[in-house]
Structure 1
Amino acid sequence: MAPSPSSFDSSALPDAAGAGTPAFSPLYQQIKGLILQSLEAGEWKPGEAIPSEIELAARFRVSQGTVRKAIDELAAENLVVRRQGKGTFVATHAERHTRYRFLRLVPDSGGGGEGAAQRNILECRRQRASAEVARSLQLRTGDPVLQVRRVLSFAGVPTILEDLWLPGHPFKGLTAEQLAAHQGPTYALFEVEFGVRMVRAEEKIRAVAADVQQAALLGVAPGAPLLSVERLSYTYNDVPMELRRGLYRTDSHHYRNELN
């Protein structure tokens, strides 16, 4: 449940003194944390408007400026989106300008950019988490996970070979048919059908050579250079929700990143 106006009390917030540091954070950071709690609890769904700054200021009994500063940080982190004259909305992977924010492979020719990929689901099965997968997803070894292997093609050319591991309980009921039939980004499917929103990711990138099986699936020669991208994606409060390992062809595409 989201906090009621009368429940806001800065003294009730987590105490960091036990860690040997002052138990203090700016008021706007405390308000940001309370808004994050409401987002995590699903009070406002992806794509929905959150209350106005005036309403939130009254709810938390703080100034409108304090609320604005909290929302500014949430917007900078792509958790909410401001729309001039309309309000502030919970960010969603279904929006056109953010739908492929986590997919950074683009064609060398420019043009259409990161258009929707054609998906071929090779495998979708439930299994017990290995020690490595469990460690990444903050599970226990042997906990249920969903493992997916798929090939993503662009303009009919197989370009990405991916393996995904998802914690079993949040994604209970996810099927290969759902993954194959969904036309938009996979993270939008996770939002709509399972209430899981990926808000940030960490990636490790290295160059590798294709083995025989990988080469066959991607239509390249064994030993061909591939870009290996390992991604760990998080939902609110830094809870890991997906481990993804992708092998990217870069003979006609490149990996693009924007640094701010």
Structure 2
Amino acid sequence: MSSLPPTATPAAARTPAPAAVAPAFSPLYQQIKGLILRSLQEGEWKPGESIPSEMDLAGRFRVSQGTVRKAIDELAAENLVIRRQGKGTFVATHAEHQVQYRFLKLLPDQGDAREEGPAQRTVLECRRARASADVARALALRTGDTVILARRILAFAGVPTILEELWLPGQAFKGLSAEQMASYQGPTYAMFELEFGVRMVRADEKIRAVLPDAAQAQSLGVSETTPLLSVERLAYTYNDAPMELRRGLYRTDTHYYFNALN
């Protein structure tokens, strides 16, 4: 006869209690940074507008001014806000002179991008389409979801230099037209901010050397044996939400691709 009480269970048969999981910890300034990011994402402060002072934010979040300052320091280092001496801190915008070329990596052999001036844009098409599997995967959509496909040529000093395709989530960019893209005088990312409330804050790129097909060569005015730089960029808005897949072919006979590594 077993000596165990009727309600007892042999030790080998007992299910071990799950190990306690320690809660994830993040420094207080990182938590404040996250709260400021949420306000940016929700549009409480628009691109180009000032955000509350460090003192006001410290009172709002009930933390020290030094904690807020450290959070804003990180946001400034990530080009999400811009400090202006004696004026305050402002939401960064691609319309801002010092940051509007931050995503432009193709620079002229002579002079710099500001001296060369903005590219002349020829929009070949801008239409609604269905996302292919690879486009949907990149933009965190489902295959077949509506996207906006735009194709255009960028020229410098009248020379076609970049041929690119832009894939954008259809819901976020509903109503975008070829006329709108062609007529806007500032940077395209500034237009995305102003017209659609979408700010690109960072991007990942893949680069390789390729040869163009016949149609691509004709668009850029080169031969099919001319090596081009293929650049695939995935741009994100706040909280790492992908909002643009851009595929471009770059001529590098009068320009070079520049990237500063920190």
| Structure 1 residues 141 and 112, CA gap change in structure 2 (3 angstroms) | closer
**How well do the aligned residues superpose, as a CA RMSD in angstroms?**
1.4
- Counterpart-to-counterpart distance in 1, 2:110 and 2:30: 44
Q: Report whether the alignment pairs 1:133 with 2:135.
A: yes
Q: Report whether the alignment pairs 1:105 with 2:75.
A: no
Aligned residues with identical type, % of pairs = 75
- Counterpart-to-counterpart distance in 1, 2:111 and 2:254: 10
- Counterpart-to-counterpart distance in 1, 2:222 and 2:22: 55
Partner of 2:60: 59
Gaps of 5+ in 1: 1-17
Task: Quote how far apart the aligned CAs of 1:115 are.
Answer: 2.2
Q: Report whether the alignment pairs 1:176 with 2:178.
A: yes
Task: Quote how far apart the aligned CAs of 1:36 are.
Answer: 0.3
For 1:126, what is the secondary structure of its paired residue?
A: strand
- Counterpart-to-counterpart distance in 1, 2:87 and 2:56: 15
- Counterpart-to-counterpart distance in 2, 1:24 and 1:236: 22
- Find the partner of 1:120 among 95, 99, 122: 122
How many residue pairs end up in the alignment? 243
Q: Report whether the alignment pairs 1:86 with 2:87.
A: yes
Task: Quote how far apart the aligned CAs of 1:72 are.
Answer: 0.3
- Counterpart-to-counterpart distance in 2, 1:119 and 1:106: 17
Q: Report whether the alignment pairs 1:161 with 2:202.
A: no
- Counterpart-to-counterpart distance in 2, 1:163 and 1:21: 46
TM-score by length of 1: 0.91
Q: Which amino acid aligns with 2:117?
A: G
Partner of 2:4: none
Partner of 2:48: 47
For 1:103, what is the secondary structure of its paired residue?
A: coil
Partner of 2:199: 197
Task: Quote how far apart the aligned CAs of 1:189 are.
Answer: 0.2
What pairs up with 1:10-29 in 2 under 5 angstroms?
22-29=23-30
Q: Which amino acid aligns with 2:70?
A: K
Task: Quote how far apart the aligned CAs of 1:21 are.
Answer: 5.8
Partner of 1:149: 151
- Find the partner of 1:209 among 208, 211, 229: 211
What pairs up with 1:25-40 in 2 under 5 angstroms?
25-40=26-41
- Find the partner of 1:254 among 240, 253, 256: 256
Task: Quote how far apart the aligned CAs of 1:112 are.
Answer: 4.7
Q: Which amino acid aligns with 2:68?
A: V
Q: Which amino acid aligns with 1:138?
A: A
Task: Quote how far apart the aligned CAs of 1:22 are.
Answer: 3.9
For 2:128, what is the secondary structure of its paired residue?
A: strand
Q: Report if aligned partners of 1:211, 1:223 keep a CA contact under 8 Å in 2.
A: no
- Counterpart-to-counterpart distance in 1, 2:106 and 2:180: 24
Gaps of 5+ in 2: 1-18
Q: Report whether the alignment pairs 1:185 with 2:187.
A: yes
Q: Which amino acid aligns with 2:259?
A: N
Q: Which amino acid aligns with 2:240?
A: D
- Counterpart-to-counterpart distance in 1, 2:112 and 2:253: 16
Partner of 1:12: none
Q: Which amino acid aligns with 1:194?
A: F
- Counterpart-to-counterpart distance in 1, 2:186 and 2:78: 22
TM-score by length of 2: 0.90
Q: Which amino acid aligns with 1:209?
A: L
Task: Quote how far apart the aligned CAs of 1:109 are.
Answer: 1.2
Q: Report if aligned partners of 1:160, 1:249 keep a CA contact under 8 Å in 2.
A: yes
For 1:203, what is the secondary structure of its paired residue?
A: strand
| Structure 1 residues 42 and 236, CA gap change in structure 2 (3 angstroms) | same
Q: Which range moved further: 48-57 or 204-213?
A: 204-213
Q: Which range moved further: 37-46 or 95-104?
A: 95-104
